[in-house]
């Protein structure tokens, strides 16, 4: 009862309430309340994640496992960022209430939290993603082989898009007059045509497929047919 029936009732009731709230103006405020609760729980989930991170890393440090020094760095950086943010260290006061310290903005550069974001988190995240350029190029070089029609289409389109979005497009096909009948052959025009018509069609069909899948899965959950989440306890 407590482990299976009540969770199923909670799931069906909240989901159905949100669906009904969409169609009925009388239950609109119920839906808004449920959404508020959902946002609160999502914020609590961050606390849960942080708790997990602390537990794993503290265990590593206390048992001196391999790489415990890195775990210590994670813990220290977490603690520093957390304290800076929660206590709004160095925050500029709120002009409407300068006597209330915690009313100031915790983000932005003069604050310690803002400094950590600007000079630690932001460069690290951007560089991590930037580095993927090398790995994507490397993987493409190893995996792309024009051995059949499908592979040629994939490779050719990627090549055209890469050329068309750079100065190479002007360099290679810039000599074709814009108002001539052959203007469609200019690489920038070919790129636009491919993205606007062909790949949009493909993406549209994928989106429709995903939408049908999401709707079916949601219905299975709301009707209590899919109960796989119950095993997570």
Partner 1 sequence: MSAHSSSDSNNSASGDSSNAQASRWIWIALFAVGAIGLACNMFLRQDGLAIRHVEITSAERVQARVVIGAGADSLAKPAQLTSDAAPLAIAAKIWVEPQDPRFATGEITRVDGVAPVIWETQKLLTRKEAAANEALQTHGDGKPAVVGANELATAAPDMQISFADTFGVWIAAFLTLAIFSFLYRDNPIYKVAESLLVGVSAAYWMVNGFWTTLVPNLFAKIAPDLVRAYAIPGLGVSEHPQQDMVLAFVPLTLGFMLLWRLAPKGGWISVWPLAFIIGTTAGLKLVASIEADLIAQAAATMKPLVAYASTTDSSGNAVRAVSVWSSIGSIVGIVGVLSVLVYFFFSIEHKGLTGKAARVGIWFLMITFGSAFGLTVMGRITLLAQRLEFLFYDWLNLS
Nearest Cα residue to 174 out of 183, 160, 196: 183
Residue 52: CB minimum distance to partner 1, A: 7
Could you say whether residue 3 binds partner 1 (CB under 8 A)? yes
E strands, the chain, where?
Answer: none
Residue 144: CB minimum distance to partner 1, A: 9
161 CB-near residues (< 8 Å, 6+ apart)? 191, 194, 195
How far apart are alpha carbons 23 and 18 in whole angstroms?
Answer: 9
Q: Which of 58, 59, 65, 82 binds partner 1 (CB under 8 A)?
A: 82
Q: Which of 24, 32, 33, 177 binds partner 1 (CB under 8 A)?
A: 33
> DSSP letter at 228?
G
What is the footprint of partner 1 within residues 165-194 (CB under 8 A)? 165-166, 184, 193-194
What is the footprint of partner 1 within residues 61-80 (CB under 8 A)? 67, 70-71, 73-80
CB of 104 within 8 A of CB of 91?
yes
CB of 161 within 8 A of CB of 195?
yes
How far apart are alpha carbons 16 and 22 in whole angstroms?
Answer: 10
Q: Which of 39, 62, 170, 180 binds partner 1 (CB under 8 A)?
A: 39
Residue 43: CB minimum distance to partner 1, A: 3
Residue 160: CB minimum distance to partner 1, A: 7
By beta-carbon proximity to partner 1, the closer residue of 53 and 174 is 53
Strand partners for 105: 92
Both tokens of 165, joined, read 């979005």
What is the footprint of partner 1 within residues 206-225 (CB under 8 A)? 206-212, 214-215, 217-219, 221-222
What is the footprint of partner 1 within residues 99-158 (CB under 8 A)? 99-100, 102-103, 106, 109-110, 113, 115-134, 136-137, 140, 149-151, 153-158
How far apart are alpha carbons 168 and 161 in whole angstroms?
Answer: 11
Q: Which of 26, 46, 141, 175 binds partner 1 (CB under 8 A)?
A: 46
19 CB-near residues (< 8 Å, 6+ apart)? 222
Residue 184: CB minimum distance to partner 1, A: 7
């Amino acid at each position: 009862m407590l482990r299976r029936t009540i969770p199923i009732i909670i799931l069906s009731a909240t989901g159905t309430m949100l669906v009904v709230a969409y169609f009925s103006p009388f239950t609109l405020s119920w839906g808004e309340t449920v959404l508020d609760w959902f946002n609160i729980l999502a914020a609590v989930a961050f606390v849960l994640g942080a708790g997990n991170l602390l537990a794993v890393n503290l265990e590593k440090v206390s048992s001196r496992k391999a790489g415990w020094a890195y775990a210590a760095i994670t813990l220290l950086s977490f603690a520093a960022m957390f304290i800076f943010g929660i206590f709004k260290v160095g925050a500029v006061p709120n002009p409407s209430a300068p006597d209330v310290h915690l009313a100031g903005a915790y983000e932005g550069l003069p604050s310690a939290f803002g400094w950590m974001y600007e000079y630690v988190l932001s460069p690290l995240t951007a560089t991590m993603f930037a580095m993927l350029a090398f790995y994507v190029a490397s993987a493409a070089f190893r995996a792309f082989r024009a051995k059949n029609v499908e592979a040629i289409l994939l490779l050719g389109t990627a090549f055209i898009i890469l050329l068309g979005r750079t100065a190479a497009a002007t360099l290679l096909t810039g000599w074709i007059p814009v108002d001539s009948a052959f203007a469609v052959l200019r690489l920038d025009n070919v790129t636009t045509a491919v993205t606007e018509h062909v790949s949009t069609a493909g993406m549209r069909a994928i989106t429709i497929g995903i939408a049908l899948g999401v709707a079916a899965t949601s219905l299975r959950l709301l009707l209590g047919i899919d109960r796989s989440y119950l095993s997570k306890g």
